[in-house]
Amino acid sequence: DTAVSQTPKYLVTQMGNDKSIKCEQNLGHDTMYWYKQDSKKFLKIMFSYNNKELIINETVPNRFSPKSPDKAHLNLHINSLELGDSAVYFCASSQWGTGLAFFGQGTRLTVV
Amino acid sequence: RKEVEQDPGPFNVPEGATVAFNCTYSNSASQSFFWYRQDCRKEPKLLMSVYSSGNEDGRFTAQLNRASQYISLLIRDSKLSDSATYLCVVTHPNSGYALNFGKGTSLLVTP
């Protein structure tokens, strides 16, 4: 049983397209995150949701829109993709305040 | 200045060696501290939490010095399978307890 699963694992798309990445966790956690890992391998928080409520919205272009239909799901929709959006996007979940996070396998997004 | 700073390495050590990684953090309100491990092209995974009293998990020992805002990780008797990137992580209430990662320290253990 995969604790945090995200799909797709790989995504290759053209500039200007709109794409979504889905994430689901079966750990019963109340907090979910999206992280971006760029080519320099730095992991940076993008969004954090606690009990479906947006807690953190870092300096991310508004082309990125997260959606949390319930506590177990946090999806990421990206409009008008740009070359600079190419990165690995990780979904994660934890129980609020613990810092003990479990990560999905990542989605490797390549914009051409 | 980055919130969490680490020496990126790489650290190349022979099997059986002892290696130490250091990390500093800038926000004195940071509340929780961790080491995560990331293998090449994989997701980060929790290695261990870090406490002021120090804690040990087998060959791994972590230490926190709140006064100096400094975190360390010691790996004894290195194994080939320890080769990975080690990520220093802090959380604080002001950022909703999100994990703030350092850039990571790369370790390569050689035969």
Q: Which of A41, A56, A94 sits opposite B95 (nearest CB)?
A: A56
Choice among B51-55, B75-79, B99-103 with the minimum mean pLDDT:
B51-55
Average pLDDT, chain A: 93
Across B100-109, average pLDDT: 96
Q: Which of B34, B43, B45 sits opposite A99 (nearest CB)?
A: B34
Across A25-49, average pLDDT: 93
B23 vs B20: CA distance, rounded Å: 10
Which of B4, B71, B97 is best to mutate for the A interface (most A CBs within 10 A)? B97
Write the CB contacts of A55 (distance below 8 Å, at least 6 apart in sequence): A31, A48, A49, B96, B98
CA A85 to chain centre: 13
Q: Do A55 and B96 touch (CB under 8 A)?
A: yes
Choice among A26-30, A56-60, B23-27 with the minimum mean pLDDT:
A56-60
User: What's residue A97's pLDDT?
Assistant: 85
At B76, which amino acid appears?
Answer: R
User: What's residue B1's pLDDT?
Assistant: 63
Q: Do A43 and B49 touch (CB under 8 A)?
A: no
Asked if pLDDT for residue B32 goes beyond 90, the answer is yes
CA distance B102 to chain A (A): 7
Across A28-41, average pLDDT: 92
User: Does the CB of A44 have a partner CB in chain B at under 8 Å?
Assistant: yes
For residue range A50-101, list pLDDT tens digits in order: 988 888 777 789 999 999 999 999 999 999 999 999 999 999 999 998 889 9
Q: Which of A44, A99, A102 sits opposite B91 (nearest CB)?
A: A99
